[in-house]
Amino acid sequence: MMSRATINTLRIASQICGPKIPSSLVSASQGLIPVVNARWSSHSPLGATLTTRKPVTINTIQSMYRKKEPITVITAHDFPSAYVADHAGMDVVLVGDSLAMVAMGMDDTSEVLLDEMILHCKSVSRAAKGAFTVGDLPMGSYEISPEQALASAIRVIKEGRVKAVKLEGGKDMAPTIAKITGAGIPVLAHIGLTPQRQNALGGFRVQGKTKSSAVKFLEDALAVQEAGAFATVVEAVPAEVAELVTKKLGIPTIGIGAGNGCSGQVLVQVDMLGNFPPGRFLPKFVKKFGNVWEESLKGIEQYKMEVKSRAYPAPEHTYPMPKEVFEEFEKAVNEKE
């Protein structure tokens, strides 16, 4: 028979912590309330994703394109960033290699490895159940040959659990795009400013500003379309050029620094939410839609202050113990001295 103190402890634990106390410990003769399971962990998962909408597919994207409905794309690099993007109703969530800088603190996108991209793709895919997910192929994982690119793409799809891959390059990458799409893997192309090749481009410079470079941009766009890309990112191109090329294509263009005439837009989530310290350089095309850094800083500073002053944790943040049980414990401790 359990002591009254033990019974009281079980009752209080069940009320506070919820389910994991075996119901066998409870009987009507003991006068206990029904005990449900309790979570004893000091942390918990974010929970089931909130999406109730029908998942976005290639067909959905094509339908939006035909209706001239702008396609919304945003980057995500982990479960929380994908979770909120999906809940906000984004059409496409891109696991961009920009995570090299915004999530891993690297100098540029050329440092991130395929295995690292796959790890981040896994996290994003667990959260984004409604949005169409795309994973970037990082530098060095697809340039050697179409066969290498296909092998990398298969890994990103199978292990990363995304629905498509993205790679940079125009006409030169057309055979590679054809190889991947021929295996049944959707490809999002990326033309204009291609950050992985910024050293060859002389830095992060606007592309298509001259007649010859604008013609090359159009040729790249037509080539990736012909190779089977379902859409293409268009980065850092004059708005007039991007709009005209968009009209010449039969696939969506997703602009980033390319004006409002594209079929859709993409931004890096960390940039557009302002989740970075003051003074960080931002490209001209980025609009800050929030200030996550400031809110996070305020919250963490408040936490620090309350810990230092012992204002936190308050009684409501702790687990109580019946007075008589504590007295028994205190007595036992004192007897051991």
143 is known as an active-site residue: no
Distance CA 159, CA 156 (A): 6
Query: Dihedral sign, CA of 209, 234, 260, 203?
Result: negative
Buried b / exposed e across 24-61, counting CB within 10 Å, b at 16+?
eebeeeeebeebeeeeeeeeeeeeebebeeeebeeeeb
Tokens linked to 109: 């996108």
Phi/psi region, residue 204 (left: phi>0; alpha: psi -120 to 50; beta: rest), is beta
Q: And the tokens for 151?
A: 């092998």
Cα distances from 90 to residues 37, 87, 236, 267, 309, in angstroms, run 36, 8, 22, 12, 42
CA–CA gap between residue 337 and residue 334 (Å, rounded): 5
How many residues would you count in the chain? 337
Phi, psi of 103 (to 5 degrees): -115, -25
Nearest Cα neighbor of 329 from 2, 39, 15, 6 is: 6
Q: Are 207 and 168 in contact (CB under 8 A)?
A: no
d(CA 108, CA 276): 16
Q: Which two tokens stand for residue 49?
A: 């994703």
Which one from 116, 143, 147, 235 is the annotated catalytic residue? 235
Could you tell me which of 151, 72, 81, 70 has the C-alpha nearest to residue 118?
151
Show the CA angle centred on residue 159, arms to residues 154 and 163, nearest 5°.
65
The SS3 of residue 322 is coil
**Catalytic (active-site) positions:** 235
